[in-house]
Each structure stands twice: as structure tokens, then as C-alpha cells.
């Protein structure tokens, strides 16, 4: 590339700052021996920075160049032109004051904005009896931001409640894709996408549709995927105390180094610090034992803390032990995770397992 006619523009842009992706689509008519190409420097540029569009392999005997915004040579989208003989620069209706055309046909766009994304066309005019025009296109795409998933309810009741997931932010000129368990969404009556795929509706959420979910934003220049989101099902099952008067216990096991510090709460009120919590002996006034039981585990070295909660409702009639097997206990479990490695045992052998990982 030859020297620029205007003072050189030095770009100080690191790869971490890059937010805009430039893709080049070149279409030439007629073809030449050395094909004219456009190179964007840098290939990615953050909003507010500069991008230089270099034109290589220009043919000989040229009279000038014209740049347009868009894919066609529309007078209303005429940005700027350069005439070689008179070294004259002409500004068009689409000129914003941030574009500079050089004698080698390259175009500098300063202080790039979202409005600069799209296609550009350069018209190269040759000298001679017949005017020949060579047109090249390139497309500037905004790099997709990292999306995030918002949920109408992170703790739905299993098989009874519907949840709406949204992929944020709402961005123009991108397509939305969804993933569950690292795979594309299956065809299911339980899953319904909105017209633009940005919203996903989950009907009567079960373990199979609880996630983890990821959403992806994609355009022809880039793509980015969200962090996974898993719904914490509130599951209901019926458990039984084997004997009236039995003292059930809840254990909170964690995978932590150093060992985690545990604390227990009932309805938000601190009870004690211990790994194992004994529920007070069930009596005739069984309702006093119902509530939201919580275990919090904290890693003192990292400061990371995780919690899990179980809503336990005790109900039944007081019947002498000789006439009954005992009280029934209904447990609604929150934050159900993988049951393969860690667990919180429940009141009875039928109980489910759960995980807290600080």
C-alpha cells in the first residue's frame, strides 16, 4: 500500500477493546488480473474508535473514486468522492464529517458508531473512451454482546407452573438460538419459542425441561452465548415419619476446602451453626414445625456462600402409636441439582438429595 495523501492515522486498539467485526464481501465486474481487494484495519474496532478501509490492487489510469453507504450506488447514500487530477474531495448527502477519503481510494471512518454498521460500496472510475466502473462491497457488523437469560420465575413448582425465559438484550439484526443441556432445543409441546426466538416459554416445568439453558446471539460476523441458567424446581412429595415423637434431622453436606461453615434458619430466623440440624420433636401441635428450612454454607477462604431451602409442612392427626404408624410430612424442595455427587438427606428414607457448593 502506498503512502496516504493525508496525514497518517495511527490506531492504538488492543484486541480486548474490539467490539465491531468487519466482514469483507468483494464482487468485481469486470474481473482484473490482480483483483482489487478491501482490507479493514483493524479487522475489529470498538465503538468510538477508528477503522481504515484500505483498497489494494487498484488498476491504472483512474480518474477518481466514490464511496457509498449501502450495497447500491444511491445518490442519497453518497458519502464522499476523490478526483485524482484536481486532488479534490467532494462530500455527499451521507457524509457525517467523520469520513476521510485518501488518494489511494482508502476510506477512514472515525469515531465508529452503531449507525456505521452495514454495507459500503466503492465505485472506481477508469480513464478512457469508455468509462469502466469497478465496484466493491464490504459489510461492517456490530459484534454481538454477551447475552444473559432472564426468567419470570426461577423457582417454579414442578409440573404445575409455566416459566418465560428471555434472551437479553433485545438487539437488532441478530438471530437468537437456544440450547438445553448443551444441545439445541428438541421439538416438544412443553417448549414454545416466540416469533423472533428471543423468548422461550416452558409449560409445566419438569426435571427434563429445568435446564440448564443457554441462549446465543448471532449475526454473520460474530456470535456469543450466555452463561447457563437452571431452574430450581419446587418439588412436592409425601414422606412419613416412622414413629410419632421421632426427632428427624436434616444434614447439609458440602464439597468445600477448607471445610464450610454451616448455619440453619427457619422462616429466615437463625437457629444454629451446625452441619446437622435436628428438627424439634414432633408433637400434637405439629403445625409449629412447619416452615421454610434453610441451610447456608460458607467457605471462609474464598468468602463464597451458597444456600438451599426446603419448605416443610407437617400435618396429620394425633393418634396413639398403637393405632397408627405416625404423622405424614409434605416436603417442598428447592434448588434440586444433580443427585450424583452431593446431597442433603431428607426427613425420611424416601427423601430427595440436594447440593450446596461454596
User: Residue 77 in 3-state DSSP?
Assistant: helix
**Cα atoms in the Cβ-side hemisphere of radius 13 Å centred on 128:** 10
Q: Percent of the chain scored above 70 by pLDDT?
A: 64
pLDDT, one tens digit per residue, over 226-276 is 999 999 877 544 333 435 555 667 777 666 667 778 888 888 888 888 887
pLDDT, one tens digit per residue, over 130-181 is 555 555 555 667 678 899 999 999 988 878 899 999 999 998 888 999 999 9
Q: Identify the pLDDT of residue 285.
A: 53
pLDDT, one tens digit per residue, over 62-117 is 889 899 988 888 889 999 999 999 999 999 999 999 999 998 999 999 998 878 87
CA 270 – CA 278 distance, rounded (Å): 14
Q: Which fold has domain 148-225?
A: Immunoglobulin-like (2.60.40)
CA 80 – CA 96 distance, rounded (Å): 10
Q: Percent of the chain scored above 90 by pLDDT?
A: 28
Q: Identify the pLDDT of residue 166.
A: 98
Architecture of domain 235-333: Sandwich (2.60)
Give me the CATH code for the 15-142 domain, please: 2.60.40.10
Q: Identify the pLDDT of residue 110.
A: 93
Q: Identify the pLDDT of residue 33.
A: 53
CA 293 – CA 250 distance, rounded (Å): 9
Q: If you average pLDDT over every residue of the chain, what do you get? A: 72
Domain(s) labelled CATH 2.60.40.10 in the chain stretch across 15-142, 148-225, 235-333
Amino acid at each position: 500500500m502506498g503512502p496516504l495523501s493525508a496525514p497518517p492515522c495511527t490506531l492504538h486498539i488492543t484486541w480486548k477493546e474490539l467490539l465491531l467485526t468487519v466482514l469483507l464481501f468483494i464482487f468485481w465486474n469486470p474481473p482484473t488480473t490482480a483483483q482489487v481487494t478491501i482490507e479493514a484495519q483493524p479487522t475489529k474496532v470498538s465503538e468510538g474508535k477508528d477503522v481504515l478501509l484500505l483498497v489494494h490492487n487498484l488498476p491504472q489510469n483512474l480518474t477518481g473514486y466514490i464511496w457509498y453507504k449501502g450495497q447500491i450506488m444511491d445518490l442519497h447514500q453518497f458519502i464522499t468522492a476523490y478526483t485524482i487530477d484536481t486532488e479534490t474531495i467532494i462530500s455527499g448527502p451521507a457524509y457525517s464529517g467523520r469520513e476521510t477519503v485518501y488518494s489511494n481510494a482508502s476510506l477512514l471512518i472515525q469515531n465508529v458508531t452503531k449507525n456505521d454498521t452495514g454495507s459500503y460500496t466503492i465505485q472506481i472510475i477508469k480513464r478512457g473512451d469508455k468509462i469502466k466502473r469497478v465496484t466493491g462491497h464490504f459489510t461492517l457488523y456490530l459484534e454481538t454482546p454477551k447475552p444473559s437469560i432472564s426468567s419470570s420465575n426461577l423457582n417454579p413448582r414442578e409440573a404445575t407452573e409455566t416459566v418465560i425465559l428471555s434472551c437479553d438484550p433485545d438487539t437488532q439484526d441478530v438471530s437468537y438460538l437456544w440450547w438445553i443441556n448443551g444441545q439445541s432445543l428438541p421439538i416438544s409441546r412443553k417448549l414454545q419459542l416466540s416469533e423472533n426466538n428471543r423468548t422461550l416459554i416452558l409449560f409445566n416445568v419438569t426435571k427434563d425441561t429445568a435446564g440448564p439453558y443457554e441462549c446465543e446471539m448471532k449475526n454473520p460476523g460474530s456470535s456469543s452465548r450466555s452463561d447457563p441458567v437452571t431452574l430450581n424446581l419446587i418439588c412436592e412429595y409425601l414422606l412419613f415419619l416412622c414413629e410419632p415423637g421421632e426427632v428427624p434431622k436434616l444434614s447439609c453436606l458440602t464439597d468445600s476446602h477448607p471445610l464450610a461453615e454451616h448455619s440453619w434458619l427457619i422462616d429466615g430466623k437463625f437457629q444454629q451453626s451446625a452441619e446437622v440440624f435436628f428438627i424439634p420433636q414432633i408433637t400434637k401441635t405439629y403445625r409449629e414445625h412447619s416452615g421454610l428450612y434453610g441451610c447456608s454454607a460458607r467457605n471462609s477462604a474464598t468468602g463464597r456462600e451458597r444456600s438451599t431451602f426446603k419448605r416443610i409442612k407437617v400435618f396429620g392427626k394425633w393418634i396413639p402409636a398403637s393405632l397408627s404408624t405416625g404423622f405424614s410430612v409434605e416436603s417442598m424442595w428447592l434448588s434440586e441439582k444433580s443427585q450424583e455427587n452431593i446431597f442433603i438427606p431428607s426427613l425420611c428414607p424416601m427423601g430427595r438429595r440436594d447440593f450446596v457448593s461454596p
